[in-house]
Structure formats: C-alpha cells, structure tokens
Amino acid sequence: MESNIIIDFIIKFNNFILYYLISVNFIYTVLFVLSIRALYVHRQKNKYWSYDDMMTSSYTPPLSIIVPCYNEEKTIVDNIKSLLSLEYSEFQLVIVNDGSKDGTLDTIKNEFSFKKIDMPYKNQIKTKDVKGIYLSTLTNNIILIDKENGGKADALNAGINMANYPLITAIDADSIIERNSLVKVVRPFVEDSSVVVSGGIVRPVNDVVINKGYIEKIKLGEKTLVRFQIVEYLRAFLFGRIGWAELNCLMIISGAFGVFDKKVVIQAGGYSKDTIGEDMELVVKIHRMMIESKRKYKIVFVPDPVCWTQVPDERRILKNQRKRWHKGLMDAMLNHKSMLLNPKYKSVGMLAMPYYFFIEMLGPVIEIVGYISFILSFWYGIISFQFTLIFFGFAVVYGVFLSSGAILLDEYNFKKYDGVKEYLVLMLYSILENFGYRQLTTWWRFLAFFQYKRNRNNWGEMQRKSFGIEEVKQKK
C-alpha cells in the first residue's frame, strides 16, 4: 500500500516535471527570438548613429560614476585609471571606501594625491557616518569618500549622496569598462526621455591583459571554471536580459554596470541595505514605484557597451557567490511578492515576476527533486533506462542549443574573442557545462534556498587579483 502511494506520487511528479520543462523551454524560446530581433534592430540603428556626434552633443547628459570599494587594493588603481581614461564629454568619479581593512584607502590617496577637505555631506539617503572627504590635486573630476563600513548598498548610497550629475552609474572596483562604453549605455537616455535605467553587458576579465587601465588583449580565461562562466554570462545577457528588456520587464541590471536616473533612484529610496541582492532589489523597486505612480518609463538593455569583471576561479568562492546571488533573488521576490501575478503591475507582475519566482527561484529545488524522482522511477521500474536517457538528453540538447546560440550571436554581432578557434572552444564548453557544472551550481542554489537566513553578507567573498600582471611583465 505504501509502495503504491510512493509510485503514484512519483508518476504525478514526473508529469509535472515534463510540463514544467516544456513551459520553461517555451519561455526561453520566446526570449531567444526576441533577442535575435532586438540585436538585428540594434545593428541597423548603429549604421545611422554617430559616436562622435554624441561625444560633442550638448544633449549628452553629464554623469557621476560611483566606485564602491572594500579591500580592493590590488585592483583599485587600475580600475580608477581605466575610468579616468573613458571617452565621455563630462563625468565625475566618486570613489567610496567602505571601511576597508587593507591598504585600499592609502593606495588611492597616494596614487592620486588626495587631500582631505572640509565639505558638507548631503545625507539624502541615510548612510553610515562619513569619516572624511578628499579631493585629488591631480584632476578635478574625482572625489574620495572614506566612511564607516556599512556594506555595499550603504557605500553606493553614500556615492549617490555626493554625486553632482543627473545620471549615475556604479562600477565595481574589480571591473574595467571599455573606453567607449559609457557613451553607448547613456545613448538610450538621449533618444528617449522615458528611459530611467540602462544596462550593459558584463564579461569575465580573467586572463584579459590590462595595462595601466587599458585593455591590451582579450583572450579566454585559462581555467575551466572561468570558461564555464563565460558561457553562462553570454547566455544570461545575450538572450535573457535582451529578451526581457524588449518586454520592458527587465528585473536585473548588473551591479557591475548600469546607468540610472539619479532622481528616480533617490525617489525609490536608493539601494536597500537589508538585502544581499541590492542591484535586483533596486530595479524591482523602480518598476513598482513607476507603475504605482502611473508614470511612463523604460528600463533598457544595450548589448554592446562592455564591462569586464573578475569572476571566481576557485570553486569555494564561486559556491559562495552563487549562494549569495540566489539569496538576493529570494529577497527581491519575497519583498515584492504582492506583485506576483497581480495585473495591477502589468507585464512585470504577470510575466517577469512569475518567471523569476517559479523558474529562477524555485527552479533549483524542482530540478534537484526531479533528479531524485527519476532515479526512484528507474528503481521502481516506472520508466525505462532508455526513456530516462531520452528525457535528460532532450533537456541537455536544448540547453546546449541556447548556450551555443548565445555564443553564435556574440560572434556574429561583436567578435570580442580572437578568431574562430576561441569561439569553437566556447561551443565545446557549452556542451560540457551540462555534465557536472550545471548540476553543481544548481545544488549550490538549492542549498541557498534552505539557508536563506544564514551568513548574509552584503560584500561577499572574492579574492582580488591584479589585472593581467603576468602578461604585462612579459611584454616589458
């Protein structure tokens, strides 16, 4: 009797998994088609767009770049030099030292000759106490804030408080953005007054050669773990985020590279300090605020401005990162659960929220339980070994199709990597990731689901490494 109950449950759950998988793949297909269409339109528009005209146009709004840093002494100088070399008509650099315990503060002060000044701090968004404000004697468009440790969101809010310009962008201290990227990501604000947020693509910078803030040579990361993440990033950005942006349902603008209307951010209350997913939480808050106030708005994604960021090359650190990301996703979903399937919030409530709730947040739990269910199904003789292989083969083949499709889109549109060989390597990794790596990251997210309230740290753990130092030394 008990055995029959178990078998009946397994059969029903297997049917649920089948329909769930079909639904997920249908959604992915729609997003993929939308992404292809958006990339085509973007290419056509670029034929008639003048980069030089926008650089010199009085309509190009000035921008404040906020760089929050905590224990970043190995990368912060290269990061600042890269930002100072950006091709943009008028910008301000706001460096926020969030109580670093290493030599970050002294490194910045010495490299750029900062001097402490007596300057009022506008506490529009409440933050931890500011200990000092510094101006550089070398350049007049850079300011340094030294504050008590309050976490990344608090550091970003301090930067917003000191920002002079109407647009703001937050760039992680372990990231390098290409010199012309700012103009490209700000372009939507010039073309459409309803745009309040614009995001660009993020790519792994590991083993890319950086010298004095400049990208000298783009190459694939040497480590297998990094290459898997390159495939992940391409898939996430080149069909996921582009597709959702086409529906004005984009829920995530990467904390490493996004431009915001400062006034809208302040109205939304700035970055939330009670979440570890402050970037997604802010975007969801903006969606909610704009819809509730019945204001016309757009949150867009631009596929060619690039921010290069360091990704974990050790399994332990990658595990902590993915668990932190999933807890951040849970924060956003649970904090705004009243938007879920609520027609008041239009396509955000009826499309994006269900996707992120049922597929992104609950997906790891369903997938892990699905693996267990199929093992039990084979054990009880409910399904054959051949059917199990066919079912998982279908899931794997479709995953490879999506990943390889994103890689081909990147090669056709942007050609960032050198030659066909490196793209063929990525195609190989798009296959290999389905045999171990995908299951591992799913398991970490599964654990995060059940450890939601534990080890909540806004900054998280990441070992910083100097950008391309070995390659640069060899060239010298």
Predicted confidence (pLDDT) at residue 337 exceeds the cutoff of 50:
yes
Q: How far is CA 312 from CA 165, 228, 232, 325, 364, in A?
A: 33, 11, 13, 13, 21
Sign, Cα dihedral of 257, 261, 263, 267:
negative
Q: Which residues contact 73 (CB under 8 A, 6 or more apart)?
A: 100, 102, 103, 104, 107, 464
Mean pLDDT of the chain: 89
Hey, what are 140's tokens? Answer: 């007049």
d(Cα 90, Cα 363) in Å, to the nearest integer?
A: 44
Q: Please give the pLDDT value at position 161.
A: 97
Hey, what are 314's tokens? Answer: 């050790």
Which of the listed ranges 283-287, 395-399, 409-413 does the model predict with the highest average pLDDT?
A: 283-287
Please give the average per-residue pLDDT across 188-198, as a whole number: 96
Closest listed residue to residue 41, CA positions, set 269, 301, 230? 301
pTM above 0.75, yes or no: yes
Hey, what are 454's tokens? Answer: 């534990």
Q: Please give the pLDDT value at position 131.
A: 96
Domain ranges of the chain: 1-48+174-252+266-476, 58-173
Q: Please give the pLDDT value at position 78.
A: 84
Q: How far is CA 157 from CA 133, 168, 270, in A?
A: 15, 11, 6
d(Cα 53, Cα 156) in Å, to the nearest integer?
A: 31
Candidate CATH numbers 1.20.58.340, 3.40.50.300, 3.40.190.10, 3.90.550.10; the one for domain 58-173:
3.90.550.10
Name the more confident of 460 and 355.
Answer: 355
Per the CB < 8 A criterion, the answer to whether 168 and 262 are in contact is yes
Per the CB < 8 A criterion, the answer to whether 407 and 427 are in contact is yes
Predicted confidence (pLDDT) at residue 469 exceeds the cutoff of 60:
no
Hey, what are 311's tokens? Answer: 């990704």
Which of 40-54, 160-174, 450-464 has the least mean pLDDT?
A: 450-464
Closest listed residue to residue 196, CA positions, set 257, 283, 91? 283
Q: How many CB atoms lie within 10 A of CB 13?
A: 19
Please compute Rg for the chain using Cα positions: 23
Give pLDDT tens digits for 127-149. 999 999 999 999 999 999 999 99
Q: Please give the pLDDT value at position 312.
A: 94
Strands (E), 137-194: 142-147, 167-170, 175-177
Give pLDDT tens digits for 251-293. 999 877 899 999 999 999 999 998 988 999 999 999 999 999 9
Hey, what are 400's tokens? Answer: 């490879």
Per the CB < 8 A criterion, the answer to whether 382 and 351 are in contact is no
Please give the average per-residue pLDDT across 3-31, as a whole number: 87
